[in-house]
Amino acid sequence: MRQKIRFIIGRIKAGRLGEMRRQTVWIYQYARHYWLTMIFYTLLGMVGTVVALLTSLVSKDLVDIITGHQTGEIVKTFSIMIGLNVGTTFLNQISDYASSYLSMKVDSEIKADIFSKILVTDWESLTTYHTGDLLTRWGSDASAISNGVLNFVPNAIIYIFRFVSAFAMVIYYDPSFAIFAFLGMPVSLLLSKTLLNRMVNNNKRSAAMGAKMSGFNQEAFSNIQTIKAFDLIHLYIARLKQLQKEYITMRLDFQKMSMGTSLLLSTVALLVSYASYGWGIYRVFSNAISYGTMTMFLSLSGTLTGTLHNLTSLVPTIIALTTSAGRLMDIIEMPREDYSQDEEAMAFLEKHRSEGISLHIKDLEYAYKNGTQVFEGAALKAYPHEVVALVGPSGEGKTTMIRLILSLMRAQNGTATLGGGTDEIALTPSTRRLFSYVPQGNTMFSGTIAENMRNVKPDATEEEIINALELACAWDFVRKLPDKIHSKIKERGGGFSEGQAQRLSIARALLRRSPILLLDEATSALDVATERKVLKNIMADQYPRTCIVTTHRPSVLNICERVYAIRDKKCVVLEEEEIDEMIRGF
């Protein structure tokens, strides 16, 4: 028998209930921070329950006074009833306001916490999720958690308190009415097991569909220029309508299930109510109770039945809550980046800032998660006041090398270190503060030019910003703008050409004055003359900067200290003859 019990418990832990239990424990990590808030909200609900029960008692006395079964002051009793109703209304308003305020506060704090955790999640793992899916999880699922943290436990306590107190009053006045409170329970219990699995599946389908819709919208609006250029407007409208059709079909399926469940529960509730009416009339005719008592019983019967339904309705709430928790846990439980060497990296930077910092990579091996080998025994080195180029066809690993240097990806083997004098420090997420990075594409944020620049150096003066713009050959067009460095940049660099946006990005990286500058195809939109001028400005700058450039254009290679070509999964140093041949053949 004991073994069988253990087996059943093991199945529960391993199955869906076990999964929900694990998700509930995870939610508790947030709930415990708001226990005072939940106590306050619970007390408000319990006070409201007490006031409602007192209203039932006063209503009983009022009916008895009117029907002549009891004596009393009708004006006084009626005034008390009005006062209780006004008090209930006022209390409900306070409760609603407090609930809204606390819900928004908790929602903001939980979203901020989850946002910060997502940002330090391993980048390579995070890229397996679509941006729209991440937004849905961070937005809708985080809001579901915040609402659940505040409402689920307090409401469960309030409903139980309401049921027990109403049931106690029924028992006190006439125990025979108590049986009607439980008539609907067998139906609810029978439905619960069937509904549980369907609700879990429905919530997962709904969340997945929401993520799909969000992803489609995000991509469509982000690439509206491409949609127009390829005349894909009708195609995307058709795709949206198809997604909407799938969504409506799914929601209607849910609605059918909800309608069937509600119809059955409502029928049971009506039967219970009519049975209560019949029993109350019988008890009045047999002079066992007064009209006022019957009125109170009918009111309490409705309270008991409604409270049972409320408790039952918490089942889909906890299912939705745990489903959202599971979706967030999928992301948050992914590997985290290690920032434990922040202090060591800062100390290394301050010690060697004046002399510059070098980069050394040796015997590096890296393969994508799908098994594709990118590097095998690769080596690379770069020193202060050098511009080192990394060339090769698209898709051969130039950008991957940059991401490995930034510790966005982790090599399976090999060493990658930063050097200063005789000191060395391994590349980790903490060492990113030693780099400035200009990736491919447009990376400017909406706001002014100055605001974009100060993202990397909040205390930068206007003179420092202008100097960085001059080094990047961007001041020539910025100074002609009406508001100069305070000119607005639209979303995704709107309002500027691609070449101008690239120069602004380079200026921002130079302003940070990091020891190592990484330019990943960052000059691809510039003409050859401007590209050479930007690199010469960087080389002429007295700041001991190490610069690594990835490019597929060989026009600037003859001004680089060394040129590495990616060949056979290695980084091979090219001789001058090979470089000259590449330049001539371009």
What is the H or E stretch that residue 572 is in?
strand 570-573
Nearest Cα to 112, choosing from 151, 138, 140, 130? Answer: 138
* Residue from 561, 540, 541 nearest 549 by CA: 561
User: pLDDT, tens digit, for every residue of 155-188?
Assistant: 888 888 888 888 888 777 777 766 665 665 565 5
Q: How confident is the model at residue 5 (pLDDT cuts 50, 70, 90)?
A: very low
Higher pLDDT residue, 72 or 407? 407
Q: Which of 316, 314, 312, 326 shows the shortest CA–CA distance to 24?
A: 326
Higher pLDDT: 487 or 1? It is: 487
Percent of the chain with pLDDT over 70: 81
Average pLDDT over residues 471-481: 87
CATH of 342-585, one of 2.160.20.10, 3.40.1640.10, 3.40.50.720, 3.40.50.300: 3.40.50.300
Task: Provide Rg for the chain, Cα atoms.
Answer: 34
Residues in CB range of 186: below 8 A, 6 or more apart: none
Where is mean pLDDT largest: 80-94, 139-153, 458-472? 458-472
Could you tell me the CA-to-CA distances from 10 to 14, 17, 170 in Å, in that order?
6, 11, 41
User: Residue 547 phi/psi, 5° resolution?
Assistant: -120, 130
Residue-wise pLDDT for 77-103, tens only, equals 667 777 777 777 777 777 777 777 777
Q: Is the pLDDT of residue 190 over 70?
A: no
Element (H, E) at 269: helix 233-285
Q: Are 132 and 222 in contact (CB under 8 A)?
A: no
The CA distance from 355 to 466, in Å, is 25
Partners of residue 448 on adjacent β-strands: 488
Residue whose tokens read 């006004």: 86
Which residues make up the CATH 1.20.1560.10 domain(s) of the chain?
18-33+108-332
pLDDT at 570: 86
The answer on pLDDT for 520 being more than 70 is yes
* Angle between helix 498-512 and helix 528-540 axes, rounded to 10 deg: 10
Segment of 74-78, 230-234, 324-328 carrying the highest mean pLDDT = 324-328
Q: Given a cut of 50, is residue 464 above it in pLDDT?
A: yes
Domain with CATH 3.40.50.300 in the chain: 342-585
Identify the bridge partners of residue 362 per DSSP, sorted by sequence position: 415
Q: Kindly tell me if the per-residue pLDDT of 4 is higher than 60.
A: no
Judged against a pLDDT cut of 50, whether residue 114 lies above it is answered with yes
**Token pair for residue 504?**
């602004």
- pLDDT at residue 360, rounded to an integer: 92
State residue 527's pLDDT score.
76
Mean pLDDT (the chain, rounded): 78
Q: Which of 470, 531, 467 is nearest to 499 (CA)?
A: 531
Q: What's the average model confidence in pLDDT over 56-65?
A: 70
pLDDT for residue 110 is more than 60 = yes
Which structure tokens are listed for 219?
């991509």
Residues ≥6 apart with Cβ < 8 Å to 555: 528, 531, 532, 583, 586
Return the pLDDT at 8: 43
If DSSP codes are grouped into helix, strand and coil, which group holds residue 289? coil
pLDDT tens digits, one per residue of 240-298: 888 888 888 877 777 777 677 667 666 766 776 677 777 777 777 777 777 677 777 76
pLDDT digits (tens, 9 = 90+) for 226-247: 677 666 778 878 888 888 888 8
HSE-up of residue 5 (Cα within 13 Å, Cβ side): 2
Output the pTM of the full model.
0.70
Tell which wins on pLDDT, 482 or 553.
482
DSSP string, 404-456: HHTTSS--SEEEEEEEETTEEEE--GGGGGGEEEE-SS--PPSEEHHHHHHTT
Quote the DSSP letter at residue 575: P
SS3 173: helix
Architecture of domain 18-33+108-332 in this structure: Up-down Bundle (1.20)
Residues near 184 by Cβ (< 8 Å), separated by ≥ 6? 265, 268, 269, 272, 305, 308, 309
In one-letter notation, the amino acid at residue 43 is L
